Amino acid sequence: MAREAKEEKDEVTVCARCHSLRNYGQVKNQVAENLIPDFDFDRLISTRLIRSSGSANASVIVMVVDCVDFDGMFPKRAAKSLFKAMEGIKNDAKISKKFPKLVLVATKVDLLPSQVSPTRLDRWVQHRAKAAGAPKLSKVFLVSAHKDLGVRNLLTFIKELAGPRGNVWVIGAQNAGKSTLINMLAKKEGLKVSKLTEAPIPGTTLGILRIGGILPAKAKMYDTPGLLHPHLMAMRLNRDEQKMVEI
């Protein structure tokens, strides 16, 4: 009876869309999927960061980029307005102390050739990010959620930056691995919470999700929908074609 009660407690009710994504790797209704409006990043993220920059709470932006397709996964178009807004905040002397911290996370490093050294990859990632218009980075982390590489160090650094009341925004292109990374961070904290839906389908996350329990005190972490990027391979190919060209 105790085992059955525990199993019932661990079960989480999900919608039909998430059930299909989790178990079958595809959306339940493609017609309905096409009717879902695109996520308005400028209105829901950029403007909110500008408004909150004058408050006492720290803002941390964790930008997740798949290093296997770094240039393709770097959200240039959507992030351009964010970088511009951050530069505007930086030039305001009154709120410059509350300038949002930008942490770049290059994921899936376990898929790269073994001869690529971490030092060389770190330099290359910073160079490509600067070329894409990113402002000064607080830190670059090379991680693999699958192999559990660098995740603990990333979590420790985010906690220090956010402090007891800060806001951490996890952003990135569609299919960059944000939800997978957040699930791994939750696992590091020993959280028994319902997992974020992970699926090889662009646009799995539809709205801003607040993730509790990962950060201490009253600090908050938010998972955001994947940013649209015209250079994403996943936007051009169907799932069967993606399987043929993925590493």
DSSP H helices, 142-238, are 151-162, 178-188
CATH homologous superfamily of 40-245 equals P-loop containing nucleotide triphosphate hydrolases (3.40.50.300)
**Termini Cα distance of the chain:** 45
Query: How does pLDDT run across 191-245, given as a tens digit for each residue?
Result: 755 555 444 444 445 567 888 888 888 888 888 877 766 666 666 777 688 777 7
How far apart are the C-alpha atoms of 18 and 38, rounded to whole Å? Answer: 18
Query: Can you tell me the mean pLDDT for 86-104?
Result: 67
Q: How confident is the model at residue 130 (pLDDT cuts 50, 70, 90)?
A: confident
142-182 tens-digit pLDDT: 999 888 999 999 999 999 999 888 889 898 887 788 888 98
Cα 76 to Cα 141: distance, rounded to the nearest angstrom: 19
